Structure 1
């Protein structure tokens, strides 16, 4: 049986239903929120209210993407899941360097240590303190995905260590991989690195690539066999070309099995329950209507059902 791993347990992939592939559901007080208070998403009631609206519109699963020691709170993720009915896939892994102090353990831990940390998050359970305290108290809530990130500069030796640890854990556990790219930069280099390390590209998704305004670049990335996640449909300013829509029109017919979507709504100003807009329901309302107007309605189930179910299934 193919399964996905949620914070409340493993489920058959068919039970995932309609899935958003890149979200920030909980960001607790942490180093990232010190730099930008809009990143703070830790009110369980407000979060649950927003996710319940998603559920009422037919949504069933969200992939949370805040990995180890960057605001992750697996106990709150589990509570929100219970309150809203939304199935949540929680991450392990490491985010961009800017979200950690310069002396963070990510720099001193060896490849083997990082590998074991990721494996334990997937196989045993995530630490209730998110590796912030002197003791590790693992919960019953397990990670269902492994994340890494690259920035504006070419992949560094330190990031290569993270790549190796993530792929080691991926091969050992069968967990899928999700990555952050800065506006799509170095996405092809990421795909090449994963291929060199022996990862299964069909179970890897690179995020934010619709911010790279080049159809040829996105096509070349998809030709590697890796998946992409687009999440900026609501971000393009009025009067500017919507590159998310442009890329979908050009590439969905050619690569229908490799494109997923999410909101990546990492700021409270995007959430209705926090008084912002457009709200997490955007993809099920405005975007769904726009997809039909673009003549792409036939791909809706691919984007939100079939592709996430294949991508986030465990390989073992």
Structure 2
């Protein structure tokens, strides 16, 4: 039976409702927040306040995409999920290099060591210290997702090593994969590499791709079999074309099973509970209303429920391909 691995445990895929497919629910003090103070999202009361309002609007699941040693606090995340009743998928893998110091362990570990670390997060439990020191103390809270990130330029040797480790862990555990593309760049190259490495593309989703407005590019990308996640609807400035809505209008008829949405609201200035805007409720208020005005309401369940159910469920691990 297909299942989704949340921080608080495995749940049947069919029990999941409305899903936010790329979020940053918890970002604790880390190298990332030292460099970008607005990224700090670690007040459990404020986070719970925001998620409680989302729960009232129907939100069932949020995919929390901060991976290893980039600000995870698994115990705080578990507390928020318990307090709000919103399921959270925790994440392992690695983010962009800019969120780690230059001599970070990610550059020293072998492909096999990275693979084993990711698998341990998924099968044993996330380290309470998020790999910030020499002591590892695993909790009972497991990751349900693998993440990697690339930049604007062609993949580096280090990034290729992370690809290999993520796909190996995916094959061994069956965990789904989510990626960061830098404003949509290198998305097609990501998809082709995942296919070459033998990943199950039904369980691979590439994020932020709506920053590129060329519908032809999206069609070529979606024809590979991967899914995409759009999260820029609230970012377009007044007076300019909202590429997110335009892409949905052009693509949903042909690719209804491969598009998901989120907020990627990784700054406290985006959260109502921190005094910012537009608030995470935007996706179930303004965005939903815009879908209706554009005649796209029939696709709501696809992009918010059915597609995330498939993408974020665990596939059967491929035997003998670790």
**CA distance in structure 2 between the partners assigned to 1:276 and 1:28 by the alignment:** 18
SS in 2 for 1:179: strand
Aligned length in residues: 316
Alignment of 1:1-316 (within 5 A): 1-316=1-316
TM-score of the superposed pair, with normalisation by structure 2: 0.98
Per the TM alignment, residue 82 of structure 1 is displaced from its structure 2 partner at its CA by: 0.4
**CA distance in structure 2 between the partners assigned to 1:231 and 1:59 by the alignment:** 16
SS in 2 for 1:125: coil
SS in 2 for 1:20: strand
Structure 1 unaligned spans of 5+:
none
**CA distance in structure 2 between the partners assigned to 1:257 and 1:75 by the alignment:** 34
**CA distance in structure 1 between the partners assigned to 2:177 and 2:50 by the alignment:** 26
Per the TM alignment, residue 134 of structure 1 is displaced from its structure 2 partner at its CA by: 1.2
SS in 1 for 2:166: helix
Counterpart residue number, 2:320 = none
SS in 1 for 2:19: strand
Per the TM alignment, residue 16 of structure 1 is displaced from its structure 2 partner at its CA by: 1.6
The runs of at least 4 aligned residues of structure 1 exceeding 3 Å deviation read none
Per the TM alignment, residue 36 of structure 1 is displaced from its structure 2 partner at its CA by: 1.2
SS in 2 for 1:291: helix
**CA distance in structure 1 between the partners assigned to 2:290 and 2:97 by the alignment:** 36
**CA distance in structure 1 between the partners assigned to 2:212 and 2:71 by the alignment:** 27
**CA distance in structure 1 between the partners assigned to 2:315 and 2:247 by the alignment:** 29
**CA distance in structure 2 between the partners assigned to 1:3 and 1:66 by the alignment:** 21
CA RMSD between the two structures:
0.5
**CA distance in structure 2 between the partners assigned to 1:277 and 1:298 by the alignment:** 28
Per the TM alignment, residue 133 of structure 1 is displaced from its structure 2 partner at its CA by: 1.4
